[in-house]
Amino acid sequence: MNKQDFEILATEILQQFASGETEIHEIHARLHQTLDQMRAFGMPLPEDLVNLEQELAREFIEDAE
């Protein structure tokens, strides 16, 4: 995948998150996977996506407690 492919994928994930059309756990999993793939390719990670992934992870931890 190239940078443009990741940008398109990230945009789709954010649109699904904003619209509420996809369950939040699925959004978190797809976002986490996308960021991991970007890391594997040595690509810079968009700060807003990293922050969103971390926020969702914290929410899931809090919900589990």
pLDDT at 50: 92
Query: Is the predicted pLDDT of residue 65 greater than 80, yes or no?
Result: no
Query: Is the predicted pLDDT of residue 52 greater than 80, yes or no?
Result: yes
Q: What is the pTM of this model?
A: 0.79
Beta carbons within 10 angstroms of residue 34's beta carbon: 20
Query: Which residues have a Cβ under 8 Å from the Cβ of 44 and sit 6 or more positions away?
Result: 38
Question: What is the number of domains present in the chain?
Answer: 1
8 Å CB contact between 28 and 57: yes
Query: Tokens 């649109």 — which residue?
Result: 15
Write out the residue range of the structural domain in which residue 42 sits.
3-64
pLDDT at 42: 93
> How far apart, in whole angstroms, are the C-alpha atoms of residue 36 and residue 41?
9
Task: Output DSSP code: residue 22.
Answer: S
